[in-house]
Structures are given as structure tokens and as C-alpha cells.
Chains A and B, each alone.
Chain A
């Protein structure tokens, strides 16, 4: 399904050139082994049990496209979309299950930089070996050797062993071989992001230049939309093994960006849904105890002579004893002022109910307090202890304030609660 969209003026020029690479109805699937089957034993077991031992996965479906001489053709797509497989098919590393790929001219693939580089060989020897692997004779490598060395800026290091190179130097050398190799079709996979800034600029110049050369064709696989826009004359987008867009770079890159946004959005939605599923219950509560709330009966500021009355609403349906434990927290001074203890307040009714409590305020000075209520059940193995089922925090906790002219602010306990008396010298 080749979708030829409107071409920009630039790309029309190439359409009259001869086709140097054509793929027609190319499909490819892989057998993914479900169990490690590289042993005779496993193979026998699988054979006896009638297990196939692999899963068929369709990676490319009916891909058709043509690349004309002189084009700078971009292939884009998200991870796992089949780009790399297509690239390997173009480079004849894989063979299609059905369909044909025709290449005319010398195709130089760079699936990875520095294929066959050996750390024990010198830079020079590696260039010749790499060249040989790419199909260049000794004489051909001779002819491009100086260019390669100059481009890599490694003149003085060429007789050093590769293992003494820094990783940046190795990459530079590999990349220089890649782009100085005098092929007709250059196939590049994600190699633009190598080297320091100065080297990047050189690469940039090189791509700009090769773009102008009408005899050289470049096929570039990348995630980087900027480089597609900058260098490519035409592009193609692959999604789930199919060509979803082919044509001028603007159309394809915006399609790609759109697809990425969609995917991102979907992912976010997924995340949110997951979070919501988890967050059905407020903080501290759960499906065993979906409701636990402490609330004041009247919202106001209390005097020390008042009694603070509050309610606790709960829902608990599991059979057996359960208790409420209430802790009083001093917000300003910190620390727990009072705690009922885990097994003091035993509840009588299961289901959803509200119970009421009061507490005297006479002992306290001015302050802001918060009540946390927890719902507890006896620990099965140790009846003297309890396990917390839920706790009412955040909005489910209740706060009250004591303000009284008679009170002081600094200490927690008022002088009504206690005084310190001076005494005579203690008796022996």
C-alpha cells in the first residue's frame, strides 16, 4: 500500500531518476522461541510433545516503496515498528518471506558503526578490515584512506591499536569509514548523534553536501525529526509493520509527531486510569473499611470550660470484634497528647454507623488539636494485640481549636491541670 502523497518541488526532481532501490510487497515474520531451543534435548522434548517451541510474529506486512537515485530517503517510526528489520532486509542481512527487494548499485549498510572492529588491530588495519567487510578491495580502501583519516581527525593515531583509542575516537573512525565509503547507496541507522560538536558540524556539512550529489542515494533511519526535515528529500513512516505515510518530509514528520502525541496521550490516560483504580479509597482507607471519618459536631472555637463533642462514622462488615482507637495530636507543639489505646473502645455494630464521643478541654492551654481515628481488629495469632484496618487522616481527621482568656499559650497543660508547689527541705 504505497500512499503517494503530494510531492514538494524538490522531491519531484528525483522521481524522474532511475529507481535504485525498490521493495515490492515485502513481508517478514520471525519465529520467537518460547523456550530456549538451542539444545538437542529441548528440541527432542518439543518434538515429542508436539510443541512448536516458537511463536510467529509478523514484523513487516506488505511493504512497497521505491527510492530513486539521488534521493535522501528517511524512514521513521516508533520503536518496534519494524524499521530496523526493514533496514536489514534492504541490506540483505535478512531475506523477505515474500515479496522482492531490488537494489542496483553498490549498497553500503551501516546498521552499526565499526562492524568487525578489533581492539587488537591498529586503526589503519581496522579501516582496511572494515573496508573489506563492506566489500572494498585493498586498492579501493587505499584510494579513500586519506579522506577517512582526515575526516576522523585521527592522523597521528592510525598506527595505534584501537584499544588505546577513546570511545569517541573509535566512533569517529567508524563513522568516517561509513560516510567516506564510496558506495552508491548509503544505508544509515541512527548514527547522527556521535562525536563532539565540531564533529557533528562536519557531519552536518557532509550530509548537506551528499544531498546535492545526484549520484548518491542515502537511506536514513532515525527518530530525530529535525534531521529528517533538514536532510531528507522524502520520507516514509512505518507503524506496526506497515507503511502509514510516504511522501514529502513535512507530511511524514507531522504524521510521526502526531502518532507520538497520540501514543503519549494514551499512555497518560492509562496511567491515570491505573492511578484512579488504586485511588478509589481516600488515603488511609481501603475496601475492608471504605468509610472512617472523624467530625466535630459544631465548627467553632472552644473554651476550656467546653466539652468537645465529635462523631466517628465508620463502615466495617467483617465479622468479629473490632475497636476504634483515637489519638489526639497537638498540631503546634507536636506529639501525641493523648491516645485511647487500641482495645479500649469496642464497637458493637457492624455495617455503617456513626458513634459519638466527647472529651473535656479543661486540662489544656490554648492550642490546635487534631483527632485521628483508627479502626482495629484483634491480631489472629495474638489476641492482646490489634491490627490496624484503616485510619482516618487528611480530610477524614477532625481539627479543633481552644482559645480562652484564662489560658496561656506556651505549655500544653493549664494550671488547672497541675501546679508545681514549692516545698520545705525534704525530710531524710
Chain B
């Protein structure tokens, strides 16, 4: 047992050190040369949120009728932003760090993980800003907030899976960057993020079925769960309150695991060749 721990430590110590180094550097360089420096990482989402709040909340009057909907909207958008940040940077990470991979031996997956961790740091800051908005909107928090970390971990893992798949493919086919650009639009509008799910459900018929199907997407499920547990347990539709069949409730999680597994599998299988192929 002792030996196993030492082995595990030896194996992942290096990865951990490199990960820290890369994440720190990236973060340090992100607002390099700007006057306000790190303050931007908070100021930017704050300002973006103000714009979105005005546009979606006041002008377009997107709403499901609840007073907390603007905050729910911000939460959804920043959750999705984590996904796009992480995939768009992560997708190119192996190629962008090509000079490193060609000259030094280190676990390649670190470059992808560091991209997703970087996005996660921004997400955490965004969540803090959402919290401020939530406090202003007098959101009543419940015990469900405690479930939030689980939802965020799920969102992170499924994103990591997708990012690993994309990063692997990008080494061989640069076209994937453009394909993913389009695909992520499709996924985005196929989820109740800027529109409340009730908009679709209320049209009835085929649309109601589609609305229910939307929730089977692991991204949609995770983001809806985050909104549900964080802000609006009463009003947010989730897989839990829309379906009764337990077998269906498992689908998004099964998909999440499948994506993660596929990502890890593909990446591991090809990563040895990355230094040569690039």
C-alpha cells in the first residue's frame, strides 16, 4: 500500500508541478501590460454582465416570469462560457504548446488540463460576480447550494472530455477548429440558456418533446442543475423534475462518462505521437 502511494505520488508529482507552472504563467500573462492587471478578471465579467442584464433582462424581456430570471440567465451564460473558453483554448493547446512538446518530455495532457483549469479559474470568478448579482436580486439560497460543487465537477469533467477529443483531432485535422465553432453554436441554441425552457415547452406538441430532449444533453443537464441548486430550486426545470423514469435520468450522466472516457482514451492513444506529428 505504502509503495502504491509512493508510486502514485512519483507519477503525478511532476504533472502537478508542471500544471501549476503553466496555469500560473497563463494567468499572469492574461492581463499582462494592462493598467488594471488582475482586476480585469473581475471587472470584465462584471461589465459584460451589466450589458447582458440590460439587453436580455430589460430590452428583450427574456423571462420565465420569475424575478430571479436575469441572475439565472447570467449564471447560464457564464457556465456555457466556461465550456467555450475551455474547448476553444484547449483545442489548440497541444499545437500551441508544440515547441514544449517537441523539446521536453512531459505528460501532454497537462497542456489540455491547464487550458481547462484556466477557464475554470475564470468561471470561479464569474460565479463570484453572479453571487453579487444574486444578493442584489435577493435570491433565497437553500441547502441545495451544497450540491453545487458536484454539478460543477460534472460540467468540468464532460468539458474536459470534449476538449481532449477536440485537441487530439486538432493535431491531425485543423479543420476541427471551424467545425467546432459551428457545432458549439448548435449546442448552445439547443439548450435553454438564453431562452427559458418554458418558451419551447409552451408551444406544445413536437416542441414540448424536443424541450424534454434538450435536458438529456449533459451540458444542459449540468447547467440546469447549477441554476436549480444555486439560484432557483422552485422554477428551474431539470432532469430530476421533468422525468420520472430513473433510466432516463441516467442518460446525461452516461453521456458525460462516455465523453470523458472517449477523450481520455483517444488522447492517451495518440499523445505519444504528438511530438512527431506536429
Chain A interface (Cβ < 8 Å from any Cβ of B) = 30, 38-41, 43, 88, 91-95, 109, 111-112, 115-116, 118, 120-121, 125, 128-129, 132-138
Contact = CB atoms under 8 A, between A and B. Distances in A.
The 8 closest A-B CB pairs, nearest first, are: A132-B21, A92-B105, A40-B175, A111-B103, A115-B103, A135-B14, A95-B272, A112-B103
A125 B28 CA distance: 10
Given A38-B172, A132-B18, 8 more contacts: A94-B275, A109-B104, A111-B103, A116-B104, A133-B18, A133-B104, A133-B106, A137-B13
Give the interface SS of chain A, mostly helix, strand, loop or mixed.
loop
A118 B30 CA distance: 13
B31 to A, nearest CB: 11
B28 to A, nearest CB: 7
A30 B276 contact: yes
Nearest to B101: A93
B174 A38 contact: yes
Nearest to B33: A120
B18 A135 contact: yes
Contact of A116 (B17, B24, B28, B100): B100
Which of A40, A88, A112, A121 has the largest count of B CB atoms less than 10 A from its CB?
Answer: A40
A116 B18 CA distance: 11
A121 B21 contact: no
Given A88-B275, A118-B29, A39 B101 contact: no
Give the interface SS of chain B, mostly helix, strand, loop or mixed.
helix
Contact of A39 (B17, B28, B104, B175): B175
Contact of B25 (A40, A93, A121): A121
28 contacts: A40-B175, A41-B175, A43-B172, A43-B173, A88-B275, A91-B105, A93-B104, A93-B275, A94-B275, A94-B276, A95-B272, A109-B103, A109-B105, A111-B104, A115-B99, A118-B25, A120-B29, A120-B32, A120-B33, A128-B21, A129-B21, A132-B18, A132-B21, A133-B21, A133-B104, A133-B106, A134-B104, A138-B20
Interface string B173-209: 1111000000000000000000000000000000000
Contacts of B104: 91, 93, 109, 111, 115-116, 133-134
B44 to A, nearest CB: 20
A129 to B, nearest CB: 5
Nearest to B24: A129
A116 B110 CA distance: 14
B61 interface: no
Interface string B125-152: 0000000000000000000000000000
Interface of B: 13-14, 17-18, 20-22, 24-25, 28-29, 32-33, 99-106, 172-176, 272-273, 275-276
Contacts, number: 75
B29 A40 contact: no
A132 B110 CA distance: 12
B162 to A, nearest CB: 19
Contacts of B272: 95
A39 B275 contact: no
B52 to A, nearest CB: 31
A159 to B, nearest CB: 14
Contacts of A94: 275-276
A387 B272 CA distance: 65
Contacts of A111: 102-104
B176 to A, nearest CB: 8
Contacts of B105: 91-93, 109
Given A38-B173, A95-B272, A137-B13, A129 B25 contact: yes
B100 to A, nearest CB: 6
A119 B41 CA distance: 22
Contacts of A128: 21
Given A38-B173, A88-B275, A121-B28, A133 B20 contact: no
Contacts of B175: 39-41
A41 B174 CA distance: 11
